[in-house]
Chain A
Amino acid sequence: MNLFWREMKANRKSLTIWSACMFLLVAGGMGKYTAYSAGGTSSEVFEHMPFSLKALLGIGTLDVTTMSGFFALLFTYIELTAAAHAALLGSGILAKEERDKTAEFLMTKPISRSSVVTAKLAAALANVAVLNLVTLISSVVMVNAYNKGESVAAEIVLFLLSMFIVQLIFLSLGAFLSACLRNSKNSGPAAAGILLGSFAIAKITDLTDRLSILNALSPFKYFSIDRIAEGNGLGIGIALSALALTAVLAALTYRFYGRRELNL
């Protein structure tokens, strides 16, 4: 329990900064809503336009003149920010002991390695959950302030729920990388690389419907934004498989960290 609180305290400052940035992102993004909702002209020409061209002209399949459509557009950036936080946190929380040369100090304590991992992952989970809650509250408040039509709070909750699962995936991925790479200093860059790669893949598959198979590689595409924006829920099968992926990565983290040769 001491270790858990120690980690919470160590991450307090960075969590505050991330939360503040998240709030600014949501507030700044919603400030743009008026610009979008004003220029809503949809002609029948657009209906005949090929999928790829729509994506290219930035129209996409979302109707950004509605509140849930606009929030879905903004959500891409919110999710990217939250995923970056989770990936860096997950890879840093185990690796920092070796980086800061405190691994020796920690390992001489009478606790098993698996309880070290448990305490650290629990602290990281709490941090991720706090960031998600901050985003949820600021989104609901800001959207309410701008929304003139019916309430979209239910969709926002679903969006943020899907974001939480994506955060969990990147958190466990980061932790897994820091446990399995021989030089744990590389786990941060590796996790960030995977994050950017997934983001790029998500953007490419937005552009064409011929490469949908690549979506399996990008957690950003596990949950269909269009589907949530239209109010059709998350898809229980995909949610369960994403959680299973997280569980597998977490289990591997325990396994690899338990047998790890620590660089002292």
Chain B
Amino acid sequence: MNMYGHELKSLRKSALIWTCSMIALASLFLAVYPGMASDAAGFKQLLSGYPEPVREMLGIDLDTVASLLGFYSMVFAFVTLCGAIQGMNLGVSILSKESRERTADFLLVKPVSRSSIVTAKLAAACTALVATDLVFFAAVSVVASAVAAGGYSGKTFLLINLTLLFIQLIFLALGLAVSVFFARLKNVLSISLGTVFGFYVLGALLASDAGDEAARYLSPFKYFDSFRIIRDAGYEWSYMLAGILIVAAGIAVSYGGYIRKDIHAG
């Protein structure tokens, strides 16, 4: 419990900075929305002069994209990018920082097992992520209600925002698993940025063929498609299962790896 409290205290500042920047990012985007909605309304007016097939083709797309939730899905892509970096960074650093800051011998001579160290740190990291997401969700709901002209489905909004936590947990587990394989990890940020950007770009490139369902398993950013969530008001369970498997495997590897690891002291 002491370890948990200590970790939470040391994570407080960074979690606060991440939360604030994610809220600022989402609010800045959402502030653009009212102008966009009026543009869309004007364009729909213009469309009424076009033949039926053209209207059909564009109209449906427009209604989804120019709605608040459709617009928010795009904003949300950047928020998940930030959130993923936060999660990965947390995962890579939380176990490895003891050897980096030369406090590993101090921690390991305490009468606690290595697995309880991992448990306490994992719990603290999860708490930090959940707290970040809760505050973010509360703030963004307020902003969204302020800019939305018509109503929007609160349940769908929650479902979309919940995927932030899932993606963060996937990257947290990934980061933890990666960090136990390095004897001494010096540069946390380049590993986490590299991995997250790698998956992000992979996901962006995959997005170009919409039909390729198998390829979506390659990038966690593609597991939760906001437009499908809006359409179905639910998740795609096969991708959800893939996410759960990654998290479980990552955590198992980090326990196994950390317990056996030769930790450099001093």
Residues of A with Cβ closer than 8 Å to B?
14, 17, 21, 25, 28-29, 32, 35-36, 43, 45, 48-50, 52-53, 56-57, 77, 80-81, 84, 88, 92, 96, 99-100, 188-189, 192-193, 196-197, 200, 203-204, 207-208, 210-211
- Whether B62 lies near A53 (C-beta < 8 A) is yes
- Whether A196 lies near B82 (C-beta < 8 A) is yes
- Whether A204 lies near B28 (C-beta < 8 A) is yes
B186 interface contact, C-beta 8 A? yes
Residues of B with C-beta under 8 A to A207: 29, 32, 36
Partner-binding segment picked from B130-138, B142-150, B164-172, B190-198: B190-198
- Whether A21 lies near B193 (C-beta < 8 A) is no
Residues of B with C-beta under 8 A to A28: 202, 205
- Whether B74 lies near A56 (C-beta < 8 A) is yes
Residues of B with Cβ closer than 8 Å to A?
21, 25, 28-29, 32, 35-36, 39-40, 42-43, 46-47, 50, 54, 58, 61-62, 65-66, 71, 74, 78, 81-82, 85, 186-187, 189-190, 193-194, 197-198, 201-202, 204-205, 208-209
Chain A interface, DSSP helix/strand/loop, else mixed: helix
Q: Which residue of A lies closest to B62 (CB)?
A: A53
How far does the alpha carbon of A29 sit from the alpha carbon of B201 in the complex, in Å?
Answer: 9
- Whether B193 lies near A192 (C-beta < 8 A) is yes
- Whether A84 lies near B35 (C-beta < 8 A) is no
- Whether B201 lies near A53 (C-beta < 8 A) is no
- Whether A52 lies near B35 (C-beta < 8 A) is yes
Residues of B with C-beta under 8 A to A36: 208
- Whether A99 lies near B186 (C-beta < 8 A) is yes
How far does the alpha carbon of A99 sit from the alpha carbon of B186 in the complex, in Å?
Answer: 8
- Whether A56 lies near B65 (C-beta < 8 A) is yes
Residues of B with C-beta under 8 A to A50: 39-40, 42-43
Complex A-B: 12 CB contacts under 8 Å: A49-B43, A52-B36, A56-B66, A77-B201, A80-B197, A81-B197, A88-B193, A92-B190, A189-B189, A200-B25, A200-B28, A210-B35
How far does the alpha carbon of A203 sit from the alpha carbon of B21 in the complex, in Å?
Answer: 16
Residues of B with C-beta under 8 A to A49: 43
Residues of A with C-beta under 8 A to B54: 43, 45
How far does the alpha carbon of A229 sit from the alpha carbon of B204 in the complex, in Å?
Answer: 21
Q: Which residue of B lies closest to A28 (CB)?
A: B205
How far does the alpha carbon of A32 sit from the alpha carbon of B66 in the complex, in Å?
Answer: 27
- Whether B205 lies near A203 (C-beta < 8 A) is no
B182 to chain A, nearest CB (A): 13
How far does the alpha carbon of A50 sit from the alpha carbon of B82 in the complex, in Å?
Answer: 29
On whether A211 and B32 interact (CB within 8 A), knowing A53-B62, A56-B65, A203-B78, the answer reads yes
On whether A32 and B65 interact (CB within 8 A), knowing A77-B201, A192-B193, the answer reads no
Residues of A with C-beta under 8 A to B205: 28-29, 32
Residues of A with C-beta under 8 A to B50: 45
- Whether A53 lies near B43 (C-beta < 8 A) is yes
Q: Which residue of B lies closest to A193 (CB)?
A: B21
A175 to chain B, nearest CB (A): 16
From A14, A48, A88, A204, contact of B189 by CB (8 A): A88
How far does the alpha carbon of A49 sit from the alpha carbon of B47 in the complex, in Å?
Answer: 9
On whether A32 and B208 interact (CB within 8 A), knowing A52-B39, A208-B32, the answer reads yes
